[in-house]
């Protein structure tokens, strides 16, 4: 069964350092999402891509976060510099991109970031 | 008021019990309602999907939507220890939007 791949699974870094997360969506999925999930909370959308284009990055803290999906396939999320409050699970999800709600999002295992 | 409210629990039940998990929402435009299950240190996986009001059953799981009350429920019959996880409700407004609004999740433990 096809899955969304993410790496690394765990990342520990010191504040002010740069970190990067990678996501490989399910083959054929045009839409890719990055979510942040703080412990005890539901996932919150950071950025949404349709193919290589950003559809929504209104919740992405652009002073320190950046995301790209250059060839419309895999994607990278970067944080520079990392802050203590960035400690969270970063989830990637993908879907075919059918508008109207009938579009199942499949999640990867996530990257758990700890900022010291 | 948050768009989606969900009691975080934790909820602990004995094996075999019927479990009821609930969410309320504020935006009457929401049309698509989902329940995700998230095991510890894993990503969420889609469990149930419902459009508009009504019930949907899948094995031991039943999803229920009451749009007049803006209330959604997930029932688990004959709960098993393997059902121990966090259950997240997620809602989509449809109308060309792909985005999901999640509840906080309810942590469920089924005790053997």
In this predicted model, what pLDDT tens digit does every residue of A26-41 receive, in sequence order?
999 999 999 999 998 9
Report the chain A residue with the minimal C-alpha distance to residue B92: A101
- Maximum separation of any 2 CA atoms in chain B, in Å: 44
Most confident of A2-6, B23-27, B79-83: B79-83
Q: At a CB cut-off of 8 Å and minimum separation 6, what does A53 contact?
A: none
pLDDT at residue A14, as a whole number = 96
| Contact list, A40 vs chain B (CB under 8 Å) | 8, 104-105
Q: Which residue has the higher pLDDT, B9 or A80?
A: A80
Residue A97 in this model has a pLDDT that exceeds 90: no
Structure tokens at B107: 């942590």
For chain B, what percent of residues have pLDDT higher than 70?
A: 93
Average pLDDT of every residue of chain B: 90
Could you tell me which chain B residue has the CA closest to the CA of A110? B43
* pLDDT at residue B29, rounded to an integer: 80
Q: Please determine, for residue A4, whether its predicted confidence score (pLDDT) is greater than 60.
A: yes
Please tell me the predicted confidence (pLDDT) of residue A81.
Answer: 96
* pLDDT recorded at residue A103: 78
Rg value, chain B, Cα = 13
Mean pLDDT of B29-48: 91
For A104-116, the pLDDT digits (tens) are 889 999 999 999 9
- By Cβ distance, the residue of B42, B96, B103 closest to A99 is B96
CA distance B60 to B82: 13
- Alpha carbon separation from A2 to A74, A104, B47 (Å, rounded): 14, 14, 17
Chain A closest CA to B45's CA: distance in Å? Answer: 7
Residue A100: the pLDDT is 56
pLDDT of residue B31: 81
Look at A110 and B45 and tell me if their CB atoms are within 8 Å. Answer: no
**Contact flag B98-A44 (C-beta cutoff 8 Å):** no
Confidence of residue B1 (pLDDT cuts 50, 70, 90): low
A5 touches chain B (CB under 8 A): no
Contact A29, A5 (CB under 8 A): no
pLDDT > 80? residue A98? no
B94·A101 Cβ contact <8 A: yes
Give per-residue pLDDT as tens, A46-85: 999 999 999 999 999 999 999 999 888 999 999 999 999 9
CB contact under 8 A, B105 and A42: yes
> Across the interface, do B44 and A56 touch by the CB < 8 Å criterion?
no
A114 shares contact with chain B (CB less than 8 Å): no
- Answer yes or no: is pLDDT of A101 > 60: no
CB distance A100–B96 less than 8 Å?
Answer: yes
pLDDT of residue B95: 58
CB contact under 8 A, B42 and A4: no
- Segment A4-10 shows an average pLDDT of 97
Q: Which residue has the higher pLDDT, B38 or B52?
A: B38
Residues of A in contact with B32 (CB under 8 A): 101-102
* Cα–Cα distance measured from residue B66 to residue B83, given in angstroms and rounded to the nearest whole number: 24
């Amino acid at each position: 069964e096809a899955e969304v791949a993410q790496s690394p699974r765990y990342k520990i870094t010191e504040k002010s350092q740069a970190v990067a997360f990678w996501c490989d969506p399910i083959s054929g999925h045009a839409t890719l999402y990055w979510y942040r999930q703080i412990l005890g909370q539901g996932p919150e959308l950071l950025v949404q891509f349709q193919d290589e284009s950003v559809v929504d990055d209104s919740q992405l803290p652009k002073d320190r976060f950046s995301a790209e999906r250059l060839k419309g396939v895999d994607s990278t999320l970067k944080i520079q510099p990392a802050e203590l409050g960035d400690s969270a699970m970063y989830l990637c999800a993908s879907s075919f991109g059918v508008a109207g709600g009938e579009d199942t999002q499949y999640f990867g295992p996530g990257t758990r970031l700890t900022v010291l | 008021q948050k768009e989606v409210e969900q009691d975080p629990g934790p909820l602990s039940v004995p094996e075999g019990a019927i479990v009821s998990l609930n969410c309320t929402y504020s935006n009457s435009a929401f049309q698509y309602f989902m329940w995700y299950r998230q095991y510890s240190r894993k990503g969420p996986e889609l469990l149930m999907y419902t459009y508009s009001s009504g019930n949907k059953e899948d094995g031991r799981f039943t999803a229920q939507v009451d749009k007049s009350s803006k209330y959604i429920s997930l029932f688990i019959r004959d709960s098993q220890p393997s059902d121990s996880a966090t259950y997240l409700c997620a809602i989509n407004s449809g109308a060309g939007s792909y985005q999901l609004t999640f509840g906080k999740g309810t942590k469920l433990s089924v005790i053997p």
